[in-house]
Amino acid sequence: MMKKTLLSLALVLGCMLAVPRAFAHAVLVSSTPAIHGTAHGPDVEIALKYNSRVDGARSTLTLVKVGGASQALTLEKQPAPEELLAHAKLGVGEYTIRWQAVAADGHITRGEIPFTVK
């Protein structure tokens, strides 16, 4: 009886290890502008690339001017399932993009990208 239980337990553990894990969280892998990077205004492209698919309809980008107001950015049609894209007209100064990405399975990740416009 004990041998049969141990064999069943080993079989279950083996199956669990054999199934590839799904990494559902959208992790930012690159951005334009880069973190602590410099962009040239006034027309600034904001492009964020993640390690997995993101839901562009439920993800958000907010632009914050250091010492100033914030504004929600309108996301454009996704150029690829793992990318978010927006454009903004920005004057010289320091800004932060606050992003919230919703992965295809609903997991939410957030982050900030500080950058300078010259």
43 in a structural domain: yes
Q: What is the CATH number of the domain that holds 89?
A: 2.60.40.1220
Q: What pLDDT, on the 0 to 100 scale, is given for residue 21?
A: 46
CA nearest to 55, candidates 30, 24, 81: 81
32 in a structural domain: yes
Q: What pLDDT, on the 0 to 100 scale, is given for residue 103?
A: 94
Q: How confident is the model at residue 68 (pLDDT cuts 50, 70, 90)?
A: confident
Do 61 and 74 touch, CB atoms closer than 8 A? no
Residues 91-104: tens digit of each pLDDT: 999 999 999 999 98
15 in a structural domain: no
Name the domain count of the chain.
Answer: 1
Total-model pTM: 0.78
Domain of residue 55, residue span = 25-117
